[in-house]
Amino acid sequence: MLKATRCFMVAVAGFALVAGCGGGSDDNANQGPIGGNLATITSQNAPTIAGVVAEAAFEDGIFGVVAGQGVPLGSSGTGALLAISGVLNAPLPPEILAAQMSMAPCLVNGMVDFEVTIQNPPELSVNDQFRLTFSACDDGTGTVTDGVIIMTVTDFQGDMASEQFVLGMSVELQAFQVTHDGQTTGASGMISVVIDTSMPPLTTITVSTTALTTTTEGTTETVSNLSVTITEDDSMFPVAVTVDTSFRISSPRIGGDVIVSTSLALQSSGDEYPFMGELRIAAAGNSVIVLIALDSNSVRLEIDIDGDGALDDTIDTTWAEILAAAQTG
């Protein structure tokens, strides 16, 4: 599947995710006013901009942070992991639904507390809540988690036991941060999640947020007006994944904001990068980058620098290269 889609991880998330040369319709209306601190696109910075967008959408950006990257799994800490997994498309077992409060050591160091408020155990219902508090929680994989995740059920239909249900949740991050291999990323904000497994073998995950802010090593980035729909077909092997998304991302790495949408849904297989699909990246002066997936390794950037609708440059590169460019941008 798209990397980190189940980790949202907008995508999502996950982060996180068209008009232009590839065709399609203009989705800018979904992003609010086109003005603001929009970035300037050049041939030189186009790979960095594309990499930052790809990173936020499906690499280790927004969605990786929301996933916690390594929520602890200990003897009694299993419940905390499974509570999170309920948001990540896994049914919650009865022992978790019946729990009220528990404190558990993490695998290596630190603690995790989880408080469960269930109105009618062991069934889920609207307003049920899971509150997880991490304190220097080391899961043994080089990841340490701190802060609070509060998940509140906003909709529930179906049956967890049959794994056919519609589950809606709001996810609030409070002073939440993950340190992985010496790099710390924090996140704050509210996310809405809807998971629909009612029509197997299809699973649809919809993620949205008005604004989610992350800070990594002093660099603060914000994803706003995010909407992402991830559809997984488990009848295929590897799992076939389709993603439609739109969002605005503000990052000092690209010198401002860009507005992102899919003109052609991103498609991937297993853990590969997308082999098909297009992302439209709009910036200052109606300038545009259309990121086109050529295959699971290669991408093409079609660049309109002056916003006149004509191509000014084309760059053929790879997913790995644009993601590397994002790190040096």
pLDDT tens digits, one per residue of 289-314? 999 999 999 999 999 999 999 999 99
Task: Verify cis geometry, omega within 30 degrees of 0, for the bond prior to 201.
Answer: yes
3-class SS at 206?
Answer: strand
The band of 224, judged by pLDDT with boundaries at 50, 70 and 90, is very high
Give the single-character DSSP code of 81: H
pLDDT at 243 over 60: yes
CA distance 41 to 306: 9
Residue 113: its pLDDT value, please?
Answer: 85
pLDDT at 79 over 60: no
* Average pLDDT over all residues of the chain: 77
Residue 98: its pLDDT value, please?
Answer: 56
Residue 100: its pLDDT value, please?
Answer: 61
| Helix, strand, coil percentages, rounded to 5, for the chain | 15, 50, 35
Residue with the larger pLDDT of the pair 183 and 122 = 183
Of 159, 162, 118, 140, give the one whose Cα is nearest residue 69: 140
Residue 101: its pLDDT value, please?
Answer: 61
Decide: 325 and 289 in contact? Cβ < 8 Å. no
Tens-digit pLDDT profile for residues 4-39: 332 322 222 222 222 222 223 333 333 444 456 999
Residue spans of alpha helices (H) in 59-204: 62-67, 78-87, 94-97
Residue with the larger pLDDT of the pair 138 and 90 = 138
Residue 59: its pLDDT value, please?
Answer: 55
Segment 275-302 mean pLDDT: 97
pLDDT at 142 over 70: yes
Residue 132: its pLDDT value, please?
Answer: 85
pLDDT at 325 over 60: yes
Residue 6: its pLDDT value, please?
Answer: 29
With 0.85 as the threshold, say if the pTM is over it.
Answer: no
pLDDT at 225 over 90: yes
pLDDT at 64 over 90: no
Q: What is the separation of C-alpha 250 from the centre of its chain, rounded to a whole number of angstroms?
A: 15
The fraction of the chain above a pLDDT of 90, given in percent, is 35
The fraction of the chain above a pLDDT of 70, given in percent, is 75
Residue 35: its pLDDT value, please?
Answer: 53
pLDDT at 187 over 90: no
Residue with the larger pLDDT of the pair 249 and 64 = 249
